[in-house]
């Protein structure tokens, strides 16, 4: 009886994962939620719920994103409580915290920056082949690269020190993500953004051209494609 129940759970998880892979996020979230009804502390289901909520937030109207991201934080934290040794829980907690930071004040943003870095370090320590963790770390370092010296000084004086990092660190982290998963559009897209912010438009152009040939595996990739097309058109003087 126990074996039958376990097999049924695996089958249900496979169905939920299939819906997610097909970018049917509502169906995937419902399927994961049904699994959580059977076991509310299953960390494998909890991190997947964090992931699908982030994907839903990323593709929702801007005014409707926040609840998805905050739900993702709750699921990822619950996953860590259930099993602190599962790297995906730390990866997706970092991702969800990065998304809610935009809704917080300066003091909380600085606190979240430290927590995001700690969660990514933990995720990579648990699984150095986690391309998603490396990719998010690259995005994190890019954000730090966009913080001016004055903003860093004010943050240190008023709220506490920001983590170290910048464009070079972002480039290194994203290249690791790409080495692990070369066909994931997000990794290439984020590397292109690093070069664009770094004042290296030709390098950004080269990376974007590569990224635009990769398969769409997330609905958010469609938005990335549009941004890359606009960048390339602007660089070539073809933008309307």
Whether residue 209 lies inside any domain: the answer is no
The overall pTM is greater than 0.85 = yes
Mean pLDDT for the chain?
90
Range of the domain at 86: 9-103
Q: How far, in Å, CA of 190 to CA of 159, rounded? A: 28
Q: Considering the domain boundaries, does residue 48 fall inside one?
A: yes
Would the pLDDT of 131 be above 50?
A: yes
Q: Is residue 59 part of a domain?
A: yes
What pLDDT is attached to residue 147?
Answer: 72
- Distance, in Å, from the CA atom of 139 to the CA atom of 102, rounded to the nearest integer, reads 14
Give residue-wise pLDDT tens across range 67-125: 999 999 999 999 999 999 999 999 999 999 999 998 988 788 888 999 999 999 999 99
Number of compact structural domains in the chain? 1
Where residue 44 sits, what CATH number does that domain have?
A: 1.25.40.10
| Residue 7's pLDDT band (cuts 50, 70, 90) | very low
Q: Is residue 145 a part of any domain in this protein?
A: no
Separation between Cα atoms, residue 79 and residue 52, nearest integer Å: 14
CB-based contact 150:132 (threshold 8 Å): no
Tell me, what's the pLDDT at 4? 44
Give the integer Cα–Cα distance in Å for 225 and 213.
10
Q: What is the pLDDT of residue 73?
A: 98
DSSP of 82-132, one letter per residue? Answer: H-TT-HHHHHHHHHHHHHHGGGS-HHHHHHHHHHHHHHHHHHHHH-TT-HH
98 occurs within a structural domain: yes
Q: Is 150 part of a structural domain of the chain?
A: no
Residue 63 located in a structural domain: yes
């Amino acid at each position: 009886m126990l074996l039958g129940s376990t097999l049924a759970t695996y089958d249900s998880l496979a169905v939920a994962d299939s819906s997610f892979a097909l970018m049917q996020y509502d169906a995937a979230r419902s399927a994961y939620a049904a699994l959580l009804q059977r076991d509310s502390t299953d960390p494998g289901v909890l991190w997947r719920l964090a992931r699908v909520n982030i994907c839903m937030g990323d593709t929702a109207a801007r005014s409707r994103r926040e609840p998805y991201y905050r739900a993702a934080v709750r699921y990822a934290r619950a996953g860590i409580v259930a099993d602190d040794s599962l790297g995906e829980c730390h990866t997706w907690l970092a991702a969800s915290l990065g998304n809610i930071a935009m809704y917080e004040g300066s003091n909380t943003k600085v606190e979240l920056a430290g927590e995001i870095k700690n969660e990514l370090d933990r995720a990579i320590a648990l699984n150095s082949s986690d391309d998603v963790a490396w990719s998010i770390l690259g995005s994190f370092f890019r954000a730090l690269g966009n913080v001016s010296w004055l903003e860093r000084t004010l943050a240190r004086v008023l709220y506490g020190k920001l983590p170290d990092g910048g464009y070079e660190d972002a480039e290194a982290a994203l290249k690791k993500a790409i080495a692990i998963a070369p066909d994931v559009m997000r990794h290439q897209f984020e590397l292109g953004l690093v070069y664009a912010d770094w004042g290296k438009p030709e390098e950004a152009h080269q990376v974007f051209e590569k990224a635009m040939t990769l398969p769409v595996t997330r609905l958010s990739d469609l938005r990335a494609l549009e941004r890359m097309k606009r960048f390339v058109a602007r660089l070539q003087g073809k933008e309307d």
